[in-house]
């Protein structure tokens, strides 16, 4: 859903990417630093109940992490490994955010809500893996009411508002996320099932038995999908 703003986002990020590229920092370094910052903010501040400050730190590093694709394009350093690294570390960042929320809620005595946060974490992984596996088998799976961008936006806005003392907002957001993530998994299963039923399985892009095929949710990451944007090999 939020992918519709990708063209506008690209126009904003490209000049910033040129500026960052002059410092000599590589796109892969941006990816690693961004993920490390998100994980630190989520796993240090959220478990202490510092949801507002944790959200600010995470948001800052998420925005920084979005520059990797822009820098890759303006420098010509685009590669499949960059896309692989980006997608894989996105899963690490997502897991850190929801793990931090889960620990913070559990320590606060909100055990049921902590369980919902755990469900959101697992459901998010399944959403991403379903797309990755489908694409690894040669199907298309660009569907879902709650892709990565939507899930992060809902979780971080709710956590920040909760940190400011707004009641019930985090609980409502997590329950909504749990439902939307479940629906998204169902949408992706239905989409792939329809394609599989309509025609023989297309030739897979890689070994079909590996269980690790696909690019996960590169398309959902806007300007961050290194291998999806711009010409030239990434070095």
Catalytically active residues are 90
CB 132 within 8 A of CB 90: no
H or E element at residue 53: helix 51-65
Tell me the DSSP string of 174-232.
Answer: HHHHHHHHHHHHHHHHHHHHHHHHHSPPPPPSS-TTSS--S-TTGGGGGGG-GGGSSSS
CB 129 within 8 A of CB 216: yes
154-118-141 Cα angle (round to 5): 65
Distance CA 163, CA 65 (A): 24
What would the two tokens of residue 152 be?
A: 């992060």
Q: Which residues, in sequence order, are CB contacts of 199 under 8 Å at separation 6+?
A: none
- Beta-strand ranges (E) seen in 28-132 are none
Cβ neighbourhood burial of 109 (10 Å; 0-12, 13-18, 19+): exposed
């Amino acid at each position: 859903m939020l992918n519709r703003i990708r063209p506008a986002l690209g126009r904003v990020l490209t000049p910033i990417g040129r500026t960052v590229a002059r410092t000599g920092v590589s796109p892969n370094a941006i990816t690693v630093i961004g993920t490390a910052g998100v994980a630190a903010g989520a796993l240090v501040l959220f478990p202490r109940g510092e949801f507002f400050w944790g959200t600010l730190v995470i948001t800052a590093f998420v925005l920084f992490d979005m520059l990797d694709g822009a820098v890759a394009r303006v420098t010509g350093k685009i590669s499949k490994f960059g896309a692989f690294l980006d997608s894989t570390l996105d899963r690490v960042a997502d897991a850190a955010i929801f793990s931090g929320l889960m620990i913070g809620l559990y320590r606060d005595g909100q055990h049921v809500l902590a369980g919902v946060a755990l469900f959101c974490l697992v459901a998010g992984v399944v959403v991403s893996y379903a797309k990755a596996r489908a694409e690894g088998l040669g199907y298309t799976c660009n569907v879902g009411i709650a892709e990565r961008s939507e899930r992060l936006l809902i979780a971080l806005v709710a956590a920040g508002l909760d940190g400011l003392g707004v009641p019930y907002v985090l609980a409502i957001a997590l329950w909504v996320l749990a439902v939307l993530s479940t629906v998204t998994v169902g949408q992706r299963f239905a989409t792939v099932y329809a394609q599989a039923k309509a025609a023989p399985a297309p030739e897979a892009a890689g070994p079909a038995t590996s269980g690790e095929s696909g690019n996960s949710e590169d398309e959902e990451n806007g300007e961050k999908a290194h291998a999806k944007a711009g010409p030239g090999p990434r070095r």
